[in-house]
Amino acid sequence: MKLSDDFDARRLRPRSTRRWPLCLAAGLALLCLLAGLGSLFTAAASLWHNPFALDEPRRAAAVLAPFGLVLLGLGILGWRLCRRRLRRSSELSMAPHLLKKRH
């Protein structure tokens, strides 16, 4: 097979991935997770502290609890996605049917 002049073997090697955007996204997801936990605990504390007093703590808890659940869910989802992409190798992998057979 004849090699052409415009062949460059460096194009076949995988490029190094930039890790800092994923680390930054994982940090933001962690902050989102912590904010969700904080708002959930605040809602629970406002209900527990004075459950039969004014109606104001119940309204605050009714707003904070769903907001905290959404933030918690988004934080967990973002954290897991970022960690999965950070641990994924960028090397070429062979197809399973091309690997050596084990008897």
CB 65: neighbour CB atoms within 10 A? Answer: 17
Q: Per residue in 8-55, pLDDT tens? A: 666 666 666 678 899 999 999 999 999 999 999 988 888 887 656 556
Q: Is 103 a member of any domain?
A: no
CA 74 to chain centroid, in Å, comes to 8
For 70-83, write each residue's pLDDT tens digit.
999 999 999 999 99
Written as six digits, the tokens of 24 are 């930054």
Report yes or no on 50 lying in a domain: yes
Flag whether 20 is in a domain: no
Whether 81 maps to a domain, the answer reads yes
- Structural domain contains residue 79: yes
Among residues 33, 41, 35, 39, which one has the least CA distance to residue 79? 33
Start-end of H helices in 1-103: 20-49, 56-87
Whether residue 83 is contained in a domain is answered as yes
- Residue 42 belongs to some domain of the structure: yes
Q: What range does the domain containing 78 cover?
A: 30-87
Return the SS3 of 36: helix
Total of domains in the chain? 1
